[in-house]
Amino acid sequence: MTVPKRLFVKTYGCQMNVYDSARMTEVLAPIGYEPVSTPDEADMVILNTCHIREKAAEKVYSELGRLALLKRERAAEGRKFMVAVAGCVAQAEGEEVRRRAPVVDLVLGPQAYHRLPEMVTRVTRAGGGVVQTDFPVESKFDHLPEETLTGVEGRGISSFLTIQEGCDRFCTFCVVPYTRGAEVSRPVSEIEAEARRLVALGAREITLLGQNVNAYHGLLPDGSPASLAVLVERLATIDGLQRIRYTTSHPLDMREDLIAAHRDVEALMPFLHLPVQSGSDRILAAMNRRHTVDDYRRWIDKLRAARPDIALSSDFIVGYPGERETDFEATLALVDEIGFAQAYSFKYSARPGTPAAALPDQLADEVRTARLERLNDRLKSHMLAFNRGLVGRTVDVLFERVGRREAQLVGRTPYGQWVHVPAPRALIGVVTSVVIEDAALNSLSGRLASSIAPTADFFGARA
Ligand code: 5AD
Ligand code: SF4
């Protein structure tokens, strides 16, 4: 009998890492690893890392410091403890990770996680360390077991499905083209099969993931290429799949057929994360974004014409090298003009090896911090205004899990906000009409819209 080994995976960064973590957990199941929820309970810890901004990598190294102590304690008890670093820090730093943190046994890039069992076995048998950060010729997706996990992050009523990886756009600030490599799209039939399996496991919403997901151009079974719009239309026919989302997109890849899909495909949610990064043409050009602010406006106009209630989200970088006060004010003006329902803002961080890191006019940290605060305040006021605009309205909520309060469920609106609602457990996984009663910055609350008021029994029976 094999003794079950316990695995703890900690995920940093984007949703694609969340998806990869679920897949790594699945790949290790056949050799006896079972997921646990803290490093203290584990025999193996994988840090699935992010390299997009400075702090992300720093956090990994401080976590590795803590794990070194844990490994020493285990060694004193005569027990083995394995540490792996996966993801984009692993890809970018390779051997350097083991030099800086000797506690690490395995280093593997995002394209290599199908090789984990073999790497783990090698370290267990022979000791020493293994580093695997080349881009293998075979696709990891061809070597992964079928999905079995539910209830882990990124798997459940709302599940993630990576359809595209890498990026060919080379924005000057970004490490993704170097850590994740060239853009590769998975074939349509493979994605459809995975989506069906996720629905069979209970998924009602699938978020299609890719570093530049709207550049998707996977092949159909007849060998012809399919756009993201074609893929979405096909997935929308899967029985039981009620909601489809996709993230993250580059404005230049916002094609007409995808905009039309927002009008025509009911399952495609009225929400779009379309990063603009800056409201200044000068900065957009310097970033190699290859479009103007006016182009962005036009895409938004078309999207709103196709789907008038579409909620928009964006990423912003403040303090890009050479950003003047007037450039920054142009960003604030664009924020006011578009009125984003959701947004993420980042202080520019020079990433080693990217063209922007070599520019002479890097801004002082005080300037970047002050601009970030001003932008955040502005974004928050728009987010709150959007959420408040939903108060009194009836919206469809897909319930995903129980809430903290008794007899409360938590679900999401079509626009992506979390909603807390007194409701019976039987509604988990069901799209239900909810009247929004209150709105804060990060969540909403409401009541079931059903005309029959639920009785105490209705709650008691199933909650
Ligand atoms: N500095 C700050 N933010 C960055 N992003 C990407 N690279 C950097 C960087 N060097 C942000 C962008 C991107 C998001 C995922 O992270 O806004 O859209
Ligand atoms: Fe990075 Fe996105 Fe630009 Fe690609 S499109 S280089 S992932 S910011």
CA 444 to chain centre: 22
Q: Are 407 and 426 in contact (CB under 8 A)?
A: no
Point out the ligand nearest to the CA of residue 210: 2
Q: Which of 388, 416, 432 is the last residue of a domain?
A: 388
Ligand 1 atom closest to Cα of residue 174: 7
The Cα 379–Cα 249 span in angstroms is 20
Ligand 2 atom closest to Cα of residue 288: 3
Mutation to probe ligand 1, out of 14, 51, 52 (largest number of atoms < 8 A from CB): 52
463 domain-assigned: no
**Can you give the pLDDT at residue 460?**
44
30 domain-assigned: yes
- Give yes or no: residues 372 and 281 share one domain: yes
Q: Look up the CATH number of the domain holding residue 31.
A: 3.40.50.12160
Identify the residue whose tokens are 């007194």.
422
- Give yes or no: residues 384 and 400 share one domain: no
The Cα 12–Cα 443 span in angstroms is 23
17 domain-assigned: yes
The Cα 421–Cα 395 span in angstroms is 12
Ligand 1 atom closest to Cα of residue 345: 17
The Cα 295–Cα 284 span in angstroms is 11
- Give yes or no: residues 322 and 186 share one domain: yes
Q: Look up the CATH number of the domain holding residue 208.
A: 3.80.30.20
**What pTM was estimated for this model as a whole?**
0.94
- Give yes or no: residues 308 and 184 share one domain: yes
pLDDT tens, N- to C-terminus, the chain (463 residues): 456 799 999 999 999 999 999 999 999 999 999 999 999 999 999 999 999 988 888 899 999 999 999 999 999 999 889 999 999 999 999 999 999 999 999 999 999 988 999 999 998 887 888 888 887 767 888 888 888 888 888 999 999 999 999 999 999 999 999 999 999 999 999 999 999 999 999 999 999 999 999 999 999 999 999 999 999 999 999 999 999 999 999 999 999 999 999 999 999 999 999 999 999 999 999 999 999 999 999 999 999 999 999 999 999 999 999 999 999 999 999 999 999 999 999 999 999 999 999 999 999 999 999 999 999 999 999 999 999 999 999 999 999 999 999 999 999 999 999 999 999 999 999 999 999 999 999 999 999 997 544 554 444 444 3
- Please list every protein residue whose CB sits less than 6 Å from any atom of ligand 2: 167, 169-171, 174, 176-177, 211-212, 250
Ligand 2 atom closest to Cα of residue 289: 3
Ligand 2 atom closest to Cα of residue 248: 2
Query: In this structure, which amino acid lies at residue 318?
Result: V
Residue 317 Cβ contacting ligand 1 at under 6 Å: yes
Ligand 1 atom closest to Cα of residue 356: 10
- Give yes or no: residues 145 and 41 share one domain: no
The Cα 414–Cα 418 span in angstroms is 10
- Give yes or no: residues 206 and 333 share one domain: yes
Distance, CA 427 to ligand 1 centroid (Å)? 38
Distance, CA 412 to ligand 1 centroid (Å)? 26
**Can you give the pLDDT at residue 442?**
95
Distance, CA 319 to ligand 1 centroid (Å)? 11
Q: Is 246 left (phi over 0), alpha (psi -120 to 50) or beta?
A: beta
Domain membership of residue 331 as a residue range: 140-388
448 domain-assigned: yes
Q: Which helix (H) or strand (E) element contains residue 421? A: strand 418-422
Q: What is the largest CA-CA distance in the chain?
A: 68
460: which residues sit within 8 A by CB, 6+ positions away?
none
Query: Residue 311 in 3-state DSSP?
Result: strand
Q: Is 277 left (phi over 0), alpha (psi -120 to 50) or beta?
A: left
- Give yes or no: residues 327 and 368 share one domain: yes
Q: Which two tokens stand for residue 425?
A: 């457990």
244 domain-assigned: yes
- Give yes or no: residues 144 and 210 share one domain: yes
Number of domains forming the structure of the chain: 3
Mutation to probe ligand 2, out of 16, 53, 162, 171 (largest number of atoms < 8 A from CB): 171
Residue 21 Cβ contacting ligand 1 at under 6 Å: no
Contacts 24+ apart (CB under 8 A), 64-73: 64/101, 64/103, 64/104, 65/101, 66/39, 67/39, 67/103, 68/101, 68/102, 68/103, 70/39, 70/40, 71/103
Q: Which of 366, 388, 410 is the last residue of a domain?
A: 388
257 domain-assigned: yes
- Give yes or no: residues 34 and 128 share one domain: yes
Q: Look up the CATH number of the domain holding residue 398.
A: 2.40.50.140
Ligand 2 atom closest to Cα of residue 174: 1
- Give yes or no: residues 19 and 113 share one domain: yes
Point out the ligand nearest to the CA of residue 356: 1
Query: Residue 5 in 3-state DSSP?
Result: strand
Sort strands 418-422 and 408-412 into parallel, antiparallel or unpaired: antiparallel
Tell me whether residue 340 is exposed, middle or buried, using C-beta atoms within 10 angstroms of its C-beta: 0 to 12, 13 to 18, 19 or more.
Answer: buried
**Can you give the pLDDT at residue 450?**
79
Edge-to-edge order in the sheet of strand 33-35: 33-35, 5-11, 44-49, 82-87, 106-108, 130-132
Distance, CA 347 to ligand 1 centroid (Å)? 8
The DSSP code sequence of 11-71 is: E-SSHHHHHHHHHHHHHHGGGTEEE-SSGGG-SEEEEEE--SSHHHHHHHHHHHHHHHHHH
Q: Which two tokens stand for residue 92?
A: 């970018």
- Give yes or no: residues 55 and 172 share one domain: no
- Give yes or no: residues 199 and 327 share one domain: yes
35 domain-assigned: yes
Which residue has the least CA distance to atom 3 on ligand 2? 171
Q: Are 46 and 84 in contact (CB under 8 A)?
A: yes
Tell me the torsion sign for CA atoms 117, 23, 143, 16: negative
Q: Which two tokens stand for residue 126?
A: 């022979």
Q: Which of 330, 357, 388 is the last residue of a domain?
A: 388
Q: Are 64 and 153 in contact (CB under 8 A)?
A: no
User: Quick check: bond before 248 cis, omega within 30?
Assistant: yes
Residue 91 Cβ contacting ligand 1 at under 6 Å: no
The Cα 266–Cα 253 span in angstroms is 22
